Amino acid sequence: MNLSDIAQTRYSTKEFDATKKIPAALFEQIKQLLRFSPSSVNSQPWHFVIAETDAAKKRMSAGTQESFIFNEPKVLNASHVILLCAKTEIDEAYMAHLLAQEEADGRFPDPAFKTTVAQGRARFVNMHRYVFKDVQHWMEKQVYLNMGTILLGAGALGVDAVPIEGMDPQALNAEFGLIEKGYTAVALVALGYRKESDFNARLPKSRLPEEEIFTLLD
């Protein structure tokens, strides 16, 4: 399958087959997609809580109660559920931590480049801190790249998935003590295999026409 086919055959799974599990080696690839997802100035302002056992998925369903109850069966019946979280702060200690990781990974064969990278990152972080005043929103935007990356990746691996914004971040923050750890819940992604009866698997995709969404410059 080429990428266009994958984009058109992956779909948001509304009903998972609770008896089917993603093989460990495949899920390992999905974890690597999360880890290697790009982020502005390599800020990686994220953390992922993963539920695989029934008990863990039950805990995850703390986020899909009351008005979000329509999403609960997806969380309980998927093979794996990932809670995508964003950092709640990007401080100097974390920026030094990123730089140290880049150095350990061999990103600075020219030592002067380390200063350039540190200054470039500080420039963007400060822009979002002091000019746009949207640093939290900016970090959460990075986390949505993880979501996009794993949705396409899961499709390529033959794994079904649904992204879930219909959930209560505060309930999940409380369930996993996330705020105390410096993170906040952003969204869920449930992964597994569709049930035969999933109505959404049989519906055609609907997207706005190409001429409406693309501008081709001469």
Ligand X SMILES: Cc1cc2nc3c(=O)[nH]c(=O)nc-3n(C[C@H](O)[C@H](O)[C@H](O)COP(=O)(O)O)c2cc1C
For residue 192, the minimal CB distance to ligand X (Å) is 14
Smaller CB separation from ligand X, 72 or 102: 72
Stretch that binds ligand X, among 6-14, 29-37, 50-58, 85-93 (CB under 6 A): 6-14
Cβ atoms of 188 and 82 closer than 8 Å: yes
| DSSP string of 146-204, one letter each residue | HHHHHHHHHHHHT-EEEEE--S-HHHHHHHHTHHHHTEEEEEEEEEE-B-TT-HHHHSP
Task: Supply the DSSP symbol for 97.
Answer: H
Q: Are 82 and 49 in contact (CB under 8 A)?
A: yes
Name the minimum Å distance from CB 186 to ligand X.
9
Q: Does 165 bind ligand X (CB under 6 A)?
A: yes
140 part of the active site: no
Gap between the Cα atoms of 73 and 69, Å rounded: 8
Sheet holding 46-51, edge to edge: 46-51, 80-87, 183-192, 160-164
Least distance from ligand X to the Cβ atom of residue 218, Å: 31
Segment interacting with ligand X (CB under 6 A) among 21-29, 106-114, 133-141, 159-167: 159-167
> What is the nearest approach in angstroms of ligand X to the Cβ of residue 194?
11
Under the binding rule (CB under 6 A), the answer on residue 11 touching ligand X is: yes
Instruction: Work out whether strand 80-87 and strand 46-51 pair parallel, antiparallel, or are unpaired.
Output: antiparallel
User: Exactly one of 14, 57, 87, 195 is catalytic; which is it?
Assistant: 14
Contact status: 73 vs ligand X (CB under 6 A): no
Instruction: Tell me which residues are annotated as active site.
Output: 14, 74, 165
Could you list the residues that contact ligand X (CB under 6 A)? 11-12, 14, 71, 162-166, 187, 205
